[in-house]
Structure 1
Amino acid sequence: MADNNSVVAGESLNQSVNYKVILVQVFVTLFLCINVGLITTFFMKDFFYTTMRYILFATILMSDCFILIVTNVLLILNYFKFTIQTWFCLIMVIMSYLYNFVTPVTLTVMTLERYVAICMPLRHGELCSQHSALQCILIIHGLSSVPCIVFLSIIFASASLKVYQQYRVCSMERFIFHTWQGHLRSAISQFYFVIMFSTIVFCYVKIMKVAKAASGENKQSTWKGLRTVILHAFQLLLCLIQLWCPFIEAAVLKTGFMLFINVRYFNYIMFSLVPRCLSPLIYGLRDEEFFLALKNNVLCGFVKTTFHSFSFDKLKL
């Protein structure tokens, strides 16, 4: 009887995991389709790829697409226990690690752009030009690559060349050879968290002061910008919590494997998929200019839309 119960429990577990994997595939496919539609819309109008906030928005969309694809491939490889060579696994892990930082750093820069637009409107055109946007993208990837360079340096110093030729199930944990490596990775993540969170708070306080002092249409547009900053803060918080998930999961694994599986699945949905779902909502669907362009794109030109120069009071913020 005990053996039969064990078999039934094992079958139930497999079915449960199957449903979870299928659900993830549905979510990933849906978000990728939405993001691809938004990226296509971005390249259809000169106004979008010459405006800093839309350029940064497209950067987040591309980063989200990449991270969704890579993490989903790693999820499938782990679920079916496929083994790949360690060097190829390392490339996938490092790229995933890089773009886990690119999204929150880009969100921070977008918040700074809102701060300049509302608190320094006369200098917005100068500081937030197309050229500045391209420079920001380079800076974003440079800052995001610092943790990856540190992580890679530690791996190359700790592992022999034979390790990279081995076939293993791919995961970040495969490259944590010493306890202090995990502590160092945690310290870097927390440092980035403090810097980005402080930037968000600074922008929020400054915009709040302008909102209280403004009047009429300026007051309305400023409060709309403030709500955008709040949404950025929430999205950024979810992205930054994701940086701490490996340490939470490592602690949970010591308690029980089933709990570890459930916590890891929850973390992936909540802190990886959900933040990628918010990007299209904040700038893709709530922005009138972008929404009309997307609507026209989806309906293949059957819906005629009139595009006009950008103004803050025409945003559905």
Structure 2
Amino acid sequence: MLILTFFTKDVFYTSMRYILFAHTLLSDCVTLCLSNLLLLLHFFAKPMLMWLCAIIFVVASVCNYLTPLTLTAMTLERYVAVCMPLRHAELCSTRGALPTLLAIHGLSFIPCTIYLLAYFVSTTSDLKKHSMICQVEMFAVHKWQGHLRSAISQSYFLLMFVAIAFSYVHIAKAAKAASGEDGRMSKKGLRTVLLHGFQLLLCLIQLFSPMVESAVLQRNVMLFIHLRYFNYIMFILVPRCLSPLIYSVRDEKFFLALKYYALCGHFKNKL
């Protein structure tokens, strides 16, 4: 419903903010579908050809990074809107949406590319012949590959944390100095950044989960299984379910359009 609402009015798909929001919706949909599929296959212990698992792993890994990176881009867009309003139309135009999305996808592809290259360098197994329960650990043959994965996740965490902190500090300064309409806009931007920060925190904790799970696996297998399921609920499902609810309800224009189409046109308020 949210994605269909996005395409109903040109004001949505001609605005950088709404384009980034729709991008998170699409990546979250793919993430939820793939993660639920893998959960069911793992629960019923259904083996899968390794080449198919590798494809699913690439898509799932890319989507895992797409959401936090897109949220970071949305935070920077709010920073430009509040702290550089005269340049907002220039820097956050629809022409800049495609390069921004390409940069986000490029950064999202880097981790899984490094993981798979490390796997192919470390093993001679034929992906076309082997079948296994599909999980990310099957691509970590040596301990150093797990350390490499953790190092990449921590680097991304630092990158996004710095961007969020930078935006928050500057928007907070603008909110303190502004008054009237500008002050209200700055305070709203500050609350938006805080929401981005909360959701990003949940998403970024997920990047640290494999490191914790690996340490637990060496001590207690059952605790590892329960911990992985808890991480799946808290750090994959929850942030991706909160995002559309928070941002669609907080945005008055989008909420009115959503309400109109959800009620099949019976809501007659001006959109």
Report the TM-score when normalising by structure 1. 0.84
Q: Which has the larger radius of gyration?
A: 1
- Counterpart secondary structure, 2:38: helix
Q: How does 1:135-150 map to 2 (within 5 A)?
A: 135-150=99-114
Aligned pair 1:162/2:126, yes or no?
yes
Kindly provide the CA deviation profile for residues 275-298 of structure 1, in whole angstroms up to 9, marking residues without a partner as x.
102211332111100000000111
What percentage of residue pairs aligned between the two structures are identical?
58
Aligned pair 1:208/2:172, yes or no?
yes
Partners of 2:244 and 2:53 lie apart in 1 by 30
Kindly provide the CA deviation profile for residues 95-128 of structure 1, in whole angstroms up to 9, marking residues without a partner as x.
1111111111101000000000000001101111
Q: Show the counterpart of 2:238.
A: 274
Partners of 2:10 and 2:126 lie apart in 1 by 51
Amino acid at match of 2:248: G
Amino acid at match of 1:67: T
- Counterpart secondary structure, 2:10: coil
Aligned-pair RMSD on alpha carbons?
Answer: 1.0
Instruction: Between 54-63 and 90-99, report the one with greater CA deviation.
Output: 90-99
Partners of 1:241 and 1:164 lie apart in 2 by 34
Partners of 2:158 and 2:68 lie apart in 1 by 12
Partners of 2:85 and 2:246 lie apart in 1 by 21
- Counterpart secondary structure, 2:190: helix
Partners of 2:146 and 2:214 lie apart in 1 by 10
Moved over 4 A (4+): none
Partners of 2:219 and 2:54 lie apart in 1 by 28
Partners of 1:162 and 1:203 lie apart in 2 by 47
- Kindly state the Cα deviation for residue 174 of structure 1 after the two structures are TM-superposed: 0.6
Amino acid at match of 2:35: T
Conserved? CA contact 1:228–1:282, under 8 Å: no
Conserved? CA contact 2:15–2:93, under 8 Å: yes
- Kindly state the Cα deviation for residue 254 of structure 1 after the two structures are TM-superposed: 2.1
- Counterpart secondary structure, 1:165: coil
Conserved? CA contact 1:293–1:305, under 8 Å: no
Q: How does 1:227-306 map to 2 (within 5 A)?
A: 227-306=191-270
Report the TM-score when normalising by structure 2. 0.97
Q: Show the counterpart of 1:191.
A: 155
Q: Show the counterpart of 2:52.
A: 88
Kindly provide the CA deviation profile for residues 12-67 of structure 1, in whole angstroms up to 9, marking residues without a partner as x.
xxxxxxxxxxxxxxxxxxxxxxxxx1001000110000000000000000000000
- Kindly state the Cα deviation for residue 158 of structure 1 after the two structures are TM-superposed: 2.0
Partners of 2:94 and 2:158 lie apart in 1 by 29
Instruction: Between 119-128 and 298-307, report the one with greater CA deviation.
Output: 298-307
Amino acid at match of 1:206: H
Kindly provide the CA deviation profile for residues 134-172 of structure 1, in whole angstroms up to 9, marking residues without a partner as x.
211111001111112111211222232424421111100
Kindly provide the CA deviation profile for residues 186-232 of structure 1, in whole angstroms up to 9, marking residues without a partner as x.
10110111011001000000001100000112112211110100110
- Counterpart secondary structure, 1:301: coil
Partners of 2:51 and 2:193 lie apart in 1 by 40
Kindly provide the CA deviation profile for residues 243-289 of structure 1, in whole angstroms up to 9, marking residues without a partner as x.
11112111112222221121111101110011102211332111100
- Counterpart secondary structure, 1:184: helix
Conserved? CA contact 2:49–2:127, under 8 Å: no
Q: Unpaired segments of 5 or more residues in structure 1?
A: 1-36, 308-317
Partners of 2:128 and 2:189 lie apart in 1 by 49
Partners of 2:73 and 2:250 lie apart in 1 by 19
Aligned pair 1:109/2:73, yes or no?
yes
